[in-house]
Amino acid sequence: MQNGELKQCELQIVETPRFFEAMLRGRPYGEASHITSRICGICAVGHATASLRATEKALGVAPSEQTVLLRKLNFHGEILDSHILHTYMLVAPDFLGVDSVIPLAKSAPEVVLRALRMKKLAGDICKVICGRHTHPHRDDGRRLHALPVERRDRRAARTACRDAR
């Protein structure tokens, strides 16, 4: 970008074919969401959840309201996470004419540190629900293996909120 005008745009498709559809054939259904979350580490929760829904549909199983709500919260965590990544770390450097967020850490450290804190909070929301944002566990369609009501999680949630302030 120069003076608000687009000067150069590059399109690179560097991804190699992964063949997930084929890889899933013949695998136990409980693995499906764990395999498909590896489609993308940035939106792993989205892929895992889509797969869970497909699996549940195929089996004719309806998740409980509690599970649905927890999954939605998990989604919100991921959406926050990837929007912060996108806005602060990928887009802002382009608008500000630098090649990455690294020089911004020098010129506007408080903004970058705030972004990192918010990103951590977003990731911690996912962590409380599914262990980690990339790649989620605890929920594999057979059951939610554990609910985020254990002491460890409450502590993690409190620390996350405190750190984010």
Instruction: Let me know: does 7 contact 1? Beta carbons within 8 Å.
Output: yes
Positive/negative CA dihedral, 83, 88, 89, 94: positive
Partner whose footprint covers residue 85, from other proteins, ligand SF4, none (CB < 5 to 8 Å by kind):
other proteins
The reply on whether position 38 binds ligand SF4 by CB under 6 A is yes
Choose one: 21-29, 57-65, 68-76, 154-162; the region binding other proteins (CB under 8 A). Answer: 21-29
Mark residue 62 as left, alpha or beta (left: phi above 0; alpha: psi -120 to 50; beta: remaining): beta
Positive/negative CA dihedral, 156, 159, 163, 165: positive
Planar angle of CA 36, 139, 46, nearest 5 degrees: 45
Smallest gap from Cβ 146 to other proteins, in A, equals 4
Q: Could you say which of 49, 52, 140, 160 contacts other proteins (CB under 8 A)?
A: 140
Smallest gap from Cβ 53 to other proteins, in A, equals 19
In angstroms, the CA 154 to CA 140 distance is: 22
Partner whose footprint covers residue 140, from ligand SF4, other proteins, none (CB < 5 to 8 Å by kind):
other proteins
The reply on whether position 105 binds other proteins by CB under 8 A is yes
The reply on whether position 114 binds other proteins by CB under 8 A is no
10-20 in b/e burial notation, b at 16+ Cβ within 10 A?
eeeeeeeeeee
Q: Contact positions toward ligand SF4, by CB under 6 A?
A: 38, 41, 134
Binding site for other proteins (CB under 8 A): 12, 14, 16-23, 25, 27-28, 31, 34-35, 38-42, 44, 85, 89-90, 93-94, 99-102, 105, 112-113, 116-117, 119-120, 123, 130-132, 134-135, 137-138, 140, 145-146
